[in-house]
């Protein structure tokens, strides 16, 4: 059994992670931390966990967390990097669901997140936790940077095209939409029901924090910098991301569907849909799947890819548990075989 701790268990990502961990057959959940809720039973704050967990929130402590095999951070950006070096020194493996270890260049991190990085040496060794490209590295990683939700959907959608050099990777377009849970659990006027219901709007057009993460990952695949226009939107639903991706063909493509099917044939959580079938966010709600369709409208020179995930699952907590399974040589799908919730 793996002894597991969760730092920051009170947000949407945190409770989704707890939902998965309390039923995982190889997990003993020992610590769930929250400064604000310390001393309160976890199931009191989240009644959906009643009967599954009987521990209280505690103050975050490196001394206590050092007893764990793995610690998840479901905390605001800038928190994990303050504690991770000591945990690593105590042979604790770490999976960070925030952005502290995603960007390899500390100067780029500071530009986008407005703070100096606290442990550049650990950052250098951290592994980007997208299993579909980094599975072998994840297995031996001490620190895994769990990918962001938009980067997961966009990268998986573009990946086969870029790997095979089939498109002009200097003019990529990602038109993505997310439910309001992606904004977190904190109170915000923009996510009030009266503000977000019956409404649809873009945001972060001039620069979203996930943009450098996506470009870094795609550049690693391409072997050079890529050009990307990324426009996220807020849609009036709770969970889900749909990314419509556009790229211009620069070489002959015979069978796009076969290309995607072959690339993801051994990936347990990527589902390439039958030709002509449209992805829907409801088909991944509560599940760790990414579902993808690829199109070439009117057999023109533009390829359109649609990629859907649950932002709290494959876009966050589900992928984090997938990474844990890989790190500890467990069946990668263990604890992650949920069927999507319909309706």
Helix (H, G, I), strand (E, B) or coil at 205: coil
> Which among 215, 182, 162, 173 has a CA at the least distance from the CA of 314?
182
CA distance 312 to 184: 10
Q: Within 10 Å of residue 244's Cβ, how many Cβ atoms? A: 15
Question: Of 56, 68, 119, 149, which residue is the catalytic one?
Answer: 149
CA distance 233 to 223: 29
Strands 93-96 and 27-33: unpaired
Is 174 buried (19+), middle (13-18) or exposed (0-12) by CB count in 10 A? buried
149 tagged catalytic: yes
CA distance 281 to 341: 10
CA distance 212 to 111: 10
Helix (H, G, I), strand (E, B) or coil at 6: strand
CA distances from 136 to 44, 244, 326, 329 (A): 39, 29, 9, 11
CA distances from 253 to 80, 156, 246, 303 (A): 44, 19, 15, 10
> Which among 154, 156, 158, 161 has a CA at the least distance from the CA of 253?
161
CA distance 222 to 343: 39
Give the tokens for residue 94. 């770490």
Cβ contacts of 266-270, under 8 Å, gap ≥ 24: 267/131, 267/132, 268/332, 268/333, 269/131, 269/314, 269/318, 269/322, 269/333, 269/336, 270/132, 270/156
Catalytic residue set: 149
């Amino acid at each position: 059994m793996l002894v597991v701790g969760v730092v920051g268990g009170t947000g949407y990502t945190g409770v989704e992670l707890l939902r998965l961990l309390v039923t995982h057959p190889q997990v003993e959940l020992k610590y769930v931390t929250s400064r604000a809720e310390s001393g309160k039973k976890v199931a009191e704050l989240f009644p959906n966990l009643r009967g599954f967990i009987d521990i209280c929130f505690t103050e975050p402590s490196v001394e206590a967390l050092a007893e764990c095999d793995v610690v998840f951070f479901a905390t605001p950006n800038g928190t994990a990097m303050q504690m991770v070096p000591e945990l690593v020194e105590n042979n604790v493996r770490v999976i960070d669901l925030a952005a502290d270890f995603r960007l390899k260049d500390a100067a780029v991190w500071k530009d986008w997140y407005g703070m100096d990085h606290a442990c550049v040496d650990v950052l250098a060794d951290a592994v980007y936790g997208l299993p579909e490209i980094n599975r072998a590295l994840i297995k031996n990683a001490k620190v895994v940077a769990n990918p962001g939700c938009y980067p997961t959907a966009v990268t998986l959608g573009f990946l086969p095209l870029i790997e095979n050099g089939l498109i002009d990777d200097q003019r990529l377009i990602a038109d993505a939409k997310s439910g309001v849970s992606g904004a977190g659990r904190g109170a915000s006027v923009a996510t009030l029901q009266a503000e977000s219901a019956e409404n649809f709007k873009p945001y972060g057009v001039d620069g979203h924090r996930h943009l450098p993460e996506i470009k870094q990952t795609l550049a690693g695949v391409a072997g050079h910098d890529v050009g990307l226009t990324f426009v996220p939107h807020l849609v009036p639903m709770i969970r889900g991301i749909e990314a419509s991706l556009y790229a211009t063909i620069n070489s002959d493509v015979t069978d796009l569907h076969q290309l995607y099917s072959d690339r993801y044939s051994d990936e347990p959580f990527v589902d390439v849909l039958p030709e002509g079938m449209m992805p829907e966010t409801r088909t991944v709600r509560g599940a760790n799947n990414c579902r993808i369709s690829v199109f070439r409208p009117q057999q023109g020179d533009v390829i359109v890819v649609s990629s859907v995930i649950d932002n709290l699952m494959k876009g966050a907590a589900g992928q984090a548990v997938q990474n844990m399974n890989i790190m500890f040589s467990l069946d990668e799908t263990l604890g992650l075989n949920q069927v999507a919730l319909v309706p």
